[in-house]
Structure 1
Amino acid sequence: MNTLYITGAGVSAESGIPTFRGRDGYWTIDSENYTPQEMATRHMYINNPVEFLSWYYHRFATYRHHGPNEVHHWLADKNLITQNIDGLDGKAGNKHYIAIHGRLDQRTIFYPQEEIVEIIDTPWDDVDEDRLSESLLALFNIQQQSPPQLHQAYKPYVLLFDEYYTENYRISEAQQRMRDADKIVFMGTSFSVNITQMALEIAYQKNTPIDIIDPEPVTINYPNANYHIMTALEYINSDLCEP
């Protein structure tokens, strides 16, 4: 059976990374002046790059040394699309997974969204926290008091709220994997992002069976869905999952 796994922030919670919408999650923590929905945008990156980069550095990069957990290792040889940007599936050894929202340990040149660009590593360890703003601007090649320049500045390889899925995020391959799947297993996701809705629409069209693994699962209007009220870790150690 060709099973496709689609994972969300709940999978990385066992590694000590807060879920986005949980009580202590990233989206519950605002910057001093902006909400997360305002911060994680291309508009903020262009108009206030210091605030944008500082927010990402503090909210995400502080977890860059957290390692993969048992679930990531179990998924290492699976057909996988993850919404997570922590890169832990790659660290666990999955060579072919799709990080559909990007990876914070990587960056790209700042580009018009329709362009295909090279993805390179981000040397977060070079950031000097004593000179945080200046250091972040230098790391991303942005001049002080100036907006990021196209094809000169760097941008975190992260899909932002006001951006859309492109081939830089392997969207066509992700959609093909959804169409080819005999079964889709959603693990630790709140179904609040476009990629899960896209997968559900394809499942509806093909009547693909789906499993939803979550201690507090979201109920969806789909008769061919099975709900398993448990964590991803409990699931992989149960008799429910495939070897």
Structure 2
Amino acid sequence: MEKTLEKIKLLCAQALAQDKLITFLTGAGISAESGVPTYRGTDGIWVEGSRNYKPEEFATLRFFKENPAEVWKFVLYRKVSFRDLQPNAGHLALASTEVLLPNNFRLITQNIDRLHIKAGNTQAKVLEIHGNMETVRCSEECSMDVYPFPLDIGTAPYDAKMITQQWEQLKCPDCGSLMRPNVLMFDEYYNERLYKQESAIEAALNTGVLFVVGTSGATNLPHHIASTATYRGSSLVDINIADSAFTDMATSEPDKLVLRGTSGDILPQIKQLIQALV
């Protein structure tokens, strides 16, 4: 580990000397250490009555249009489960790293829990490529507006019934249609306005070292970000507890590195080595 960290330190020093970005791409693994259920595991399956809905089935716009109550019940259940969770050592290390690198830091996250913001990262440096659970928008896209999550919903203890008052609060203020969570669904496409696709690719093009943290690369854009960064000469550091779609990229050249362990253990060490450079 010590030898690997020394090599990472050298690569970061080279990137900063060239005025390149140090970029972190994070996924569910970093938030799992705070107690956030992983979306693709068995804890991500939604049970309604006697039926189990898998994420690939109910987390689609098509399913939302046909069964809005089931989707909103799951969203409220999940939002309440996020309510009291706190950032862990990995989140806090990234917040400190942003302070160390005010002009050379980017954080691209697949997570919708906003724990990075809660830890202290700034919205200007965080690209939430799957949206977040703190905002909603019109399901009919009557306008370009994104609204804060209704204050009175998703804060009380979870109740499986959608009461009249909740439905009223979930109406679009412009056209009266039902609001939807401002998150990317499985049958939707990335874009810049909502999911910062172009900003994420631009960051990848200007990255000197890309740290991939707690993500398997199962979705399109994260894999494209890593491919773009490495194609442009970025070093890639894979920080995961197991091999993933990024592992081959991380080991294909001498400058690609793999660190196995939890982000809560490894990211504070990365922060320390960057601190020694600035």
1:235 counterpart = 2:266:
yes
Query: Which residue of structure 1 lines up, in the alignment, with residue 226 of structure 2?
Result: 200
Query: Which residue of structure 2 lines up, in the alignment, with residue 215 of structure 1?
Result: 241
CA distance in 1, matches of 2:58, 2:161: 18
Summarize the alignment of residues 122-201 of structure 1 with structure 2, pairs less than 5 Å apart: 122-123=150-151, 124-125=153-154, 132-134=161-163, 135-141=165-171, 152-166=177-191, 167-201=193-227
Gaps of 5+ in 1: 143-148
Distance 1:217 1:122, change over 3 A: farther
User: Relative to structure 2, which stretch is displaced further, 2-11 or 233-242?
Assistant: 233-242
Distance 1:165 1:122, change over 3 A: farther
Task: Give runs of ≥4 in structure 1 deviating > 4 Å.
Answer: 28-31, 125-131
Paired residue secondary structure (2:137): strand
Q: Give deviations 1:129-155, integer Å, cap 9, x for gaps.
A: 55722354333128xxxxxx9773211
Distance 1:179 1:208, change over 3 A: same
> Shift of residue 53 of structure 1?
0.6
Distance 1:30 1:221, change over 3 A: farther
Contact kept in structure 2, 1:217 and 1:227, CA below 8 Å: no
* TM-score (structure 1 length as normaliser): 0.84
1:90 counterpart = 2:112:
no
Question: How big is the alpha-carbon RMSD for the aligned residues of Structure 1 and Structure 2?
Answer: 2.6
> Shift of residue 79 of structure 1?
1.6
Identical aligned pairs, as a percentage? 26
Point out the structure with the larger helix share. Answer: 2
Distance 1:129 1:79, change over 3 A: closer
Paired residue secondary structure (1:133): coil
1:16 counterpart = 2:35:
yes
Paired residue secondary structure (1:227): strand
| Equivalent AA in structure 2 for residue 196 of structure 1 | P
Query: Which residue of structure 2 lines up, in the alignment, with residue 145 of structure 1?
Result: none
CA distance in 2, matches of 1:184, 1:111: 37
CA distance in 1, matches of 2:194, 2:266: 32
Contact kept in structure 2, 1:7 and 1:186, CA below 8 Å: yes
Gaps of 5+ in 2: 1-15, 99-104
Paired residue secondary structure (2:274): coil
| Equivalent AA in structure 1 for residue 145 of structure 2 | V
Q: Give deviations 1:176-217, integer Å, cap 9, x for gaps.
A: 111111111000001111121111220242132100101113
Paired residue secondary structure (1:132): coil
Contact kept in structure 2, 1:15 and 1:69, CA below 8 Å: yes
CA distance in 2, matches of 1:62, 1:157: 17
Q: Of the candidates 70, 95, 98, which is equivalent to residue 51 of structure 1? A: 70
Q: Of the candidates 23, 33, 41, which is equivalent to residue 4 of structure 1? A: 23
Contact kept in structure 1, 2:60 and 2:186, CA below 8 Å: yes
Query: Which residue of structure 1 lines up, in the alignment, with residue 139 of structure 2?
Result: 110
Paired residue secondary structure (2:33): helix
Contact kept in structure 2, 1:50 and 1:137, CA below 8 Å: no
| Equivalent AA in structure 2 for residue 108 of structure 1 | R
| Equivalent AA in structure 1 for residue 185 of structure 2 | L
* TM-score (structure 2 length as normaliser): 0.75
| Equivalent AA in structure 1 for residue 168 of structure 2 | A
Query: Which residue of structure 1 lines up, in the alignment, with residue 148 of structure 2?
Result: 120
> Shift of residue 241 of structure 1?
5.2
1:226 counterpart = 2:257:
yes
Contact kept in structure 2, 1:110 and 1:151, CA below 8 Å: no
Contact kept in structure 1, 2:80 and 2:155, CA below 8 Å: no
Q: Give deviations 1:78-98, integer Å, cap 9, x for gaps.
A: 420110000111111211211
Higher relative contact order (CA 8 A, sep 6+): 2
